[in-house]
Amino acid sequence: MQSETQKGLRISTYKYGKKYEKLVVEFFQKKGVKVLETNVFTVYGEADIVCAEEDRLIIVEVKGGKRLEEIYERFNRKKLQRLKLVGQFLCQKYSYKNFQIDGFIVVATEGNAKIIQIKNIV
């Protein structure tokens, strides 16, 4: 049964989310981008992944699923506004002046996953 919850999500959904985030972390590591933290909680909200590249932080939001159109819709205005506040907060924490927010979409079908990066989503 999927009635148990973890952080308010069905466990199967939670597990898929973690898998998607892991794929994106591996994507950054292969590109030589330093991953500072994952699942960062602040008073303003959560960032799935925080990376550092050159002189800026990259705040990453990961969404996944099977249908691309539905995944895009989950990057809503409210979520993106919160991510801007999270980015400002984390810039102070890590002593960076600049940040960007990237969205990642993981489209998973029959054992395959396609990763789509949306740079500077805000």
Encode the chain in three state secondary structure: CCCCEECCEEHHHHHHHHHHHHHHHHHHHHCCCEEEEEEEEECCEEEEEEEEECCEEEEEEEEEECCHHHHHHCCCHHHHHHHHHHHHHHHHHHCCCEEEEEEEEEEEECCEEEEEEECCCC
- The model's confidence at residue 3, banded by pLDDT at 50, 70 and 90, is very low
Residue 7: per-residue pLDDT: 53
For residue 67, pLDDT over 90 is answered with no
pTM over 0.75: yes
Query: Which domains are assigned to the chain?
Result: 5-118 (3.40.1350.10)
Residue 2: per-residue pLDDT: 39
